[in-house]
Structure 1
């Protein structure tokens, strides 16, 4: 579970992360990541109705929250991250691993 301070909550937080951050797309998700000077690292999730009914969307959000929480703790610097789940996802963990690695590399730390 992400602590309240580790969540993106306002529309402006989401908007600025998407506009200023690097974007990495995979078949199951799109990841937007930006470095920030304000600790702690924060994450937000976007799961549209195209993914499925409310039960399916909430399941996807819970899975993503679990996967991202571990990565935020191990991040080499403070980040804001937005993860957008795409319909027809199959391997969220694999897609997130690949996108996370690419985004961190693009931000300048390997």
Structure 2
């Protein structure tokens, strides 16, 4: 389960991650990786006054948010997909840098994928969105339609 401070909950945080994040799709998921980001007024994370850490020990954990639309399936299917994605993110989040905001959007294919496949899709999409190298050679299409 994801800790409370590791979840994106506010609409404006989702919008920010979707707008400024790098997008990558794999199988049943689309990942929007926003990297390290300012989260509050003046670029600092918002902490309750009684628990504000000193500057030396301040760090914002990576956060994740999930979007599972009705296109994925009925409520039972959507909740199953969401649970699987939350579990996969909780495992992989340990390797993410502090301050990263990640929105994981499930596609309709996610309903047909088991946990291992969703976890693999998530890992590949995150690697790609973070700037990892693509797998295999990149194909180029000839805009002229081929040889003369």
TM norm structure 1:
0.88
What is the TM-score with the length of structure 2 in the denominator?
0.67
Matched, 1:64 2:53: no
Residues 4-63 of structure 1, C-alpha deviation per residue, up to 9 Å, x if partnerless? 111000100000000001000123111001122551110000001111111110110110
Moved more, 85-94 or 14-23: 85-94
Q: Matched residues in 2 for 1:70 and 1:77: separation?
A: 15
SS in 2 for 1:100: helix
1:95 aligned residue (118, 121, 126): 121
More helix by share: 1
User: Shift of the alpha carbon at 1:77?
Assistant: 4.2
Aligned residues: 106
Aligned counterpart, 2:62: 41
Q: Which has the larger Rg?
A: 2
Q: Contact (CA 8 Å) 2:6, 2:63: kept in 1 or not?
A: yes
**Rounded Cα–Cα distance in structure 2 between residues aligned with 1:88 and 1:25:** 12
- Runs of 4+ with deviation above 3 angstroms: none
Structure 2, unpaired ranges of 5+: 38-44, 46-59, 133-148
Q: CA deviation at 1:76?
A: 3.7
Structure 1 unaligned regions, length at least 5: none
Greater share of strand: 1
